[in-house]
Amino acid sequence: MKEFDLIRRYFTPTDTLGDVSLGVGDDAALLCSPPGHELAVSVDTLVRGVHFPVDTPPEAIGHKALAVNLSDLAAMGATPRWVTLALTLDGEDAAWVEAFVRGFLTLARSHEVALVGGDTTRGPLSITVQAMGVVPAGTALRRSGARAGDAVLVTGSVGDAALALRELGRGTPDPGLRARLDRPEPRVAAGQALRGLASACIDVSDGLAQDLGHILTASGVGATLETARLPLSAAFREVQGDAVDWGLPLAGGDDYELLFTAPQAAVGPLCRTLDGLGCAASVIGRIETEPGLRILDPQGNPLSLQRGGYTHFDS
């Protein structure tokens, strides 16, 4: 199939939103940003065998390619509006593309996001998505607002995706764990609910400890985390039993939960609001004046990690 036939068949949605003056099919898209808002922009590339296992179904790849970008916008408290997609394919497989697009656009429609442009080319399979959203001026969540005395919280549960990836090397992981790896759900509504209440925020993509470190560095503070308070799913506990490998929830990554800080007075209202959205949040630590991250095991003793999280260029 020729490139432009591919674009017309799979990547020209019929449900373009009202804030798109011109979408797929021209040299650039024309978008209408609402008055009084700032534009939030994020871009991520996913490569087969690096960001998703080689056996991942194409529909799940399409979902995840968009989800990880929407998670970045969620961490800023932004409302996603538009995306562009650059897709590098290693061959002609209409069934694969159709399933990929189905996963991508199903998630896009659930968040009222319009696909407004992109590119297709041939080469090793990789997907680059640029996501754009809007946030009322001056209200975006940042990494730099944490203050000593704030609580550290995380949405949902952590460690499932990392455990699924490890179990995949040993056989067939629990289906619930595998779903967390293949089809993360971006916490878009939760991110918007944090505006004006959270002091700092980041999404957990490369590992909770490492990502919290980004907040600590940007804010010029330190923190203590308590592993006993980490939210672990029933499936995670079933597989791990009593011998929990704390490196999975602390450094495994791919959770795409929101990790945030908030003044103590805001913790109760925030947790109640997030519960109402079906997205529970757990207090897992506190921000302190002394720089650095201190991690305590369930008995309250210092815990050291062999690595803090995922990095692309480890030697």
Beta bridge partners of 39: 134
pLDDT digits (tens, 9 = 90+) for 284-313: 999 999 999 999 999 999 999 876 554 443
Which residues line the annotated binding site for substrate? 51, 254, 310
Q: What is the model's pLDDT at position 3?
A: 54
Mean pLDDT on 277-282? 96
CATH number for region 150-296 = 3.90.650.10
Of 6-10, 92-96, 263-267, minimum mean pLDDT range:
6-10
Q: What is the model's pLDDT at position 108?
A: 94
8, pLDDT greater than 80: no
Q: What is the model's pLDDT at position 9?
A: 59
What's the rounded Cα separation, in Å, for the pair 249 and 286? 18
The residue assigned the tokens 């959270």 is: 198
Which residues line the annotated binding site for Mg(2+)? 27, 42, 44, 72, 119, 203, 206
Q: What percent of the chain has pLDDT over 70?
A: 89
Q: What is the model's pLDDT at position 172?
A: 81
Q: What is the model's pLDDT at position 29?
A: 74
pLDDT digits (tens, 9 = 90+) for 26-73: 667 788 788 999 999 999 999 988 788 888 999 999 999 999 999 999
Which residues line the annotated binding site? 27, 42, 44, 51, 72, 118-119, 143, 203, 205-206, 254, 310
The residue assigned the tokens 């925020």 is: 201
Q: What is the model's pLDDT at position 239?
A: 94
What's the rounded Cα separation, in Å, for the pair 99 and 67? 16
Mean pLDDT on 176-181? 95
Residue 141 CA: distances (Å) to CA of 21, 72, 203, 215: 28, 11, 11, 11
> Predicted confidence band at 315 (pLDDT cuts at 50, 70, 90)?
very low
Q: How many CB atoms lie within 10 A of CB 107?
A: 21
Q: Can you give the residue ranges of every domain in the chain?
A: 3-136, 150-296
pLDDT digits (tens, 9 = 90+) for 121-178: 889 889 999 999 999 999 999 999 999 999 999 999 999 999 999 998 787 889 999 9
**Residues comprising the chain, all counted:** 315
Domain 3-136 listed as CATH 3.40.47.10: no
Which residues line the annotated binding site for ATP? 118-119, 143, 205
